[in-house]
């Protein structure tokens, strides 16, 4: 039976909250997951870049996925999909992460290309990696293209299309690269009923929808999930003028959020919604709302005000 692609809609790449001693703050993280679910997102991405995946060991990853799945199920959100980051430097380790994620309640695996030996990662090697992973993966796979965390590796539309056509378990991609043309080429070549190409930043949410995005997976949804859902509603309604106006707000806020780092994202959430602290695991730092510049705070505040009215 062919794997089913993720549902169309807004997905939040969930931050992982930590206590002062750098242990996982499960209470804050689960409160955050609940707020996202209550807001109407169709899924969460756990242990992606915003979730500080490289800073979590195997046991922590398993415990976090299981805790989120169980909490969502207990709240009645059994339909909410979990995409879990499983990328590693080798096929063997990646497949192990995928197996553990499935056992813990994940629906999909989000996989970065291996980036330790950047110079060796040509298109052929990268495609071979994904084919080898897909051949034995226990979960359907989304290719994660994010040059900013892979030493500049930027997977082409040609490679993504070839991989999707080669293995039915490769059912989507997240394009944090911001290349709308790449998204357009992928969405117009691969069948929409079986492949989900996602834009990966709020900064180009509306252009991504025009280019065939399956919704959005965006860090700013940690702050304003309802606002993203509203933009999607306006797009589907055909109210382009209102959608453009809201996209402008999101673009300014997303640009501001990109300057504060992961700890800053958590600080913003903590300040506006009352749980967690702005702490990343070292070498990432600590942030508070007071440590952020006024221009950053004001751009994000504008979106928070919209969020709290929805």
Predicted confidence pLDDT, tens digits, the chain (310 residues): 678 999 999 999 999 999 999 999 999 999 999 999 999 999 999 999 999 999 999 999 999 999 999 999 999 999 999 999 999 999 999 999 999 999 999 999 999 999 999 999 999 999 999 999 999 999 999 999 999 999 999 999 999 999 999 999 999 999 999 999 999 999 999 999 999 999 999 999 999 999 999 999 999 999 999 999 999 999 999 999 999 999 999 999 999 999 999 999 999 999 999 999 999 999 999 999 999 999 999 999 999 999 999 9
Which class would CATH give 9-237?
A: alpha beta
Is 241 among the residues known to form the active site? no
pLDDT score at 91:
98
CA distances from 119 to 10, 113, 115, 123 (A): 35, 13, 9, 11
Structure tokens at 239: 């109210």
pLDDT score at 223:
98
Catalytic residue among 11, 77, 108, 144: 144
Catalytic residue among 174, 201, 226, 279: 174
pLDDT score at 1:
63
pTM, 2 dp? 0.97
pLDDT score at 83:
98
Q: Are 174 and 145 in contact (CB under 8 A)?
A: yes
Burial (CB < 10 A; 0-12, 13-18, 19+), residue 113, is buried
Task: Report whether 217 belongs to an annotated binding site.
Answer: yes
> CA angle 63-69-71, nearest 5°?
100
Is 77 among the residues known to form the active site? no
């Amino acid at each position: 039976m062919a794997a089913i692609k993720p549902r169309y809609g807004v997905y939040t790449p969930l931050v992982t909250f930590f206590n002062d001693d750098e242990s996982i703050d499960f209470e804050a993280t689960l409160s955050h997951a609940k707020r996202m679910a209550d807001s109407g997102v169709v899924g969460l991405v756990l242990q992606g870049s915003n979730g500080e995946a490289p800073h979590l060991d195997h046991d922590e990853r398993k415990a976090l996925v299981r805790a989120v799945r169980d909490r969502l199920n207990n709240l009645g959100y059994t339909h909410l999909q979990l995409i879990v980051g499983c990328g590693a430097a080798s096929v063997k380790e990646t497949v192990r992460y995928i197996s553990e994620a499935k056992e813990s309640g994940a629906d999909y695996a989000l996989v970065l290309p291996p980036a330790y030996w950047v110079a060796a990662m040509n298109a052929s090697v990268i495609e071979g990696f994904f084919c080898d992973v897909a051949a034995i993966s226990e979960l359907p796979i989304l290719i994660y293209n994010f040059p900013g965390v892979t030493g500049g590796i930027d997977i082409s539309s040609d490679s993504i299309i070839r991989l999707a056509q080669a293995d039915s378990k490769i059912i989507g991609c997240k394009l944090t690269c911001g290349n709308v043309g790449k998204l357009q080429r992928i969405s117009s070549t691969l069948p929409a009923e079986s492949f989900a190409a996602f834009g990966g930043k709020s900064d180009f949410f509306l252009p991504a929808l025009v280019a065939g995005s399956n919704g959005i997976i965006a860090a700013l949804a940690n702050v304003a999930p309802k606002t993203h859902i509203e933009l999607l509603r306006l797009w589907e309604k055909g109210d382009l003028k209102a959608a453009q106006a809201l996209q402008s707000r999101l673009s300014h806020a997303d640009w501001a959020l990109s300057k504060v780092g992961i700890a800053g994202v958590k600080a913003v959430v903590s300040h506006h919604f009352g749980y967690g602290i702005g702490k990343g695991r070292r070498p990432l730092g600590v942030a508070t709302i007071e440590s952020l510049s006024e221009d950053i705070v004001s751009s994000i505040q504008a979106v928070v005000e919209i969020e709290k009215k929805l």
